[in-house]
Amino acid sequence: MVIIRSLTLWATITTIITKALEWGLNWHWLIATIVALNLATFLAMGVDKMAAQFNQRRMPEAAFLLLGLVGGMAGLLIASQIFRHKTVKKSFRMALYGVLAIQIIAALWLVSWVFG
């Protein structure tokens, strides 16, 4: 169910970005948004790692996957390695790579649509 919701969200975001580019969206806005999302995702992963160490309430994995899906994948991958967080759990890693594959396909489609 999370994957279906994630795919729907990604399709919606891709459509919004595509239409915004058609209407003359400034690329600087898009880059700033992606940088902010990656920073927020990186920090969220660090906070979750600290919560795990102190046996506190944690963020659900679906939230990390959603943050990665909407643009924070680089922050998620980097934070995962730096904080050594969620690197062993196979189900999370498989979902993470699935989201990454979806992003790569969508990005290639978007680039081919804009420049093709």
End-to-end CA distance of the chain: 34
> pLDDT tens, 61-104?
888 888 888 888 889 999 998 998 888 888 888 888 888 888 88
Res. 4: pLDDT tops 70 = no
Closest residue by Cα to residue 97 from 77, 79, 81, 83: 77
Would you call 67 exposed, middle or buried from its count of C-beta atoms within 10 A (0-12, 13-18, 19+)?
Answer: buried
**pLDDT at position 17 over 80:** no
Place of tokens 């690329």: 27
Place of tokens 């909407």: 70
Q: Is the pLDDT of residue 14 over 90?
A: no
Q: Which of the pair, 44 or 6, is modelled with greater confidence?
A: 44
Mean pLDDT, all residues of the chain? 81
